[in-house]
Amino acid sequence: MSKQFALFGHPVTHTLSPRIHRAFARDLGIDMEYRAVDTAPDDFKAALDRFAEAGGVGGNVTLPLKEAAFGLCADLSPAARRAQSVNTLIRTDHGWHGENTDGAGLVRDLTDRHRLDLRGRRTLLLGAGGAARGVAPALLEAGIDKMVVVNRSAERADRLVDLLDAPGRVASRYWEDLEALGDFELVINATSATRHGGALKLPFGLASPRFVVVDLNYGEAAAPFLSWGRAAKAEAAIDGLGMLVEQAAEAFQRWHGRRPDTDDLYASLRAEHARLQTAD
């Protein structure tokens, strides 16, 4: 019987994760089943319990459940504990073991695929939820200079800064302060605002001469922010497709002990995305 894996989130209708993991399994000759489970936050624990009772051995977690998953794990990796956010689950005899591969996936995509040198970049992180928590520690470890966290709920931004525990390198600011923050060499959108047709109104004064924008979303949800970045003369405007593939490969390795090659799959998904944009 194939081992059972799943992605938990809400909504997950258009997720690429099942396709990605099935491709990895096919390439490496691993017998597994991977499906998407749409569950609202109030039902997440029950859905996870049902999955475990049915023989589920591993899973991924996406918005808006990453912080809830943190609280449901029996033990945690150092990355998940530091982020207090979980995107990868492994079933053990003691319950769920939680990991966070978002940060490793983002840094690998930016540095290996896009050849972006993160060292010394003054960074603006938009958002303070599970996605932001997952990537912030890895960005600091990759050598960015100072990070400013801005979130519509200032309290959540403050909590993330406290969690990172990097005095002098990380600070929180109000969303209303964006006009007065100066310029940045890296601006990352970790919010979900544009997933539901919303918009991010950002000043062009955030752009420095050495300026890159990164959206952790991909597809239509990333388009408004990346369009702003291009209008602000960004050297590069990068969506979250590569991060999605790389964090999935990190999770796959933790489940199976083998890391799949990602280049061909990423190229295929990127070409398909380009065709869809041309068709529109």
Q: Which residues are designated catalytic?
A: 66
247 known ligand binder: yes
16 known ligand binder: yes
Compute the distance between CA of residue 93 and CA of residue 95 in angstroms, rounded to an integer: 6
Q: In what order do the strands lie in the sheet with 56-61?
A: 32-38, 3-9, 56-61, 88-92, 95-99, 75-76
102 known ligand binder: yes
17 known ligand binder: yes
Eight-class DSSP state of 111: I
Preceding omega of 203 cis (within 30 degrees of 0): no
Which residues, 6 or more positions from 110, have their beta carbon under 8 angstroms from its beta carbon? 116, 118, 214, 238, 242
62 known ligand binder: yes
Compute the distance between CA of residue 147 and CA of residue 75 in angstroms, rounded to an integer: 29
266 known ligand binder: no
Which amino acid does the sequence have at 172?
S
129 known ligand binder: yes
| 107-131: b (≥16 Cβ within 10 Å) or e | bbbbeebeebebeebbbbbbbbbbb
15 known ligand binder: yes
131 known ligand binder: yes
Compute the distance between CA of residue 124 and CA of residue 147 in angstroms, rounded to an integer: 6
| 22 burial type by CB count under 10 A (0-12 exposed, 13-18 middle, 19+ buried) | middle
Q: Which residues are annotated as a binding site for NADP(+)?
A: 127-131, 216, 240
Q: Which residues are annotated as a binding site?
A: 15-17, 62, 87, 102, 127-131, 216, 218, 240, 247
Q: Which residues are annotated as a binding site for shikimate?
A: 15-17, 62, 87, 102, 218, 247
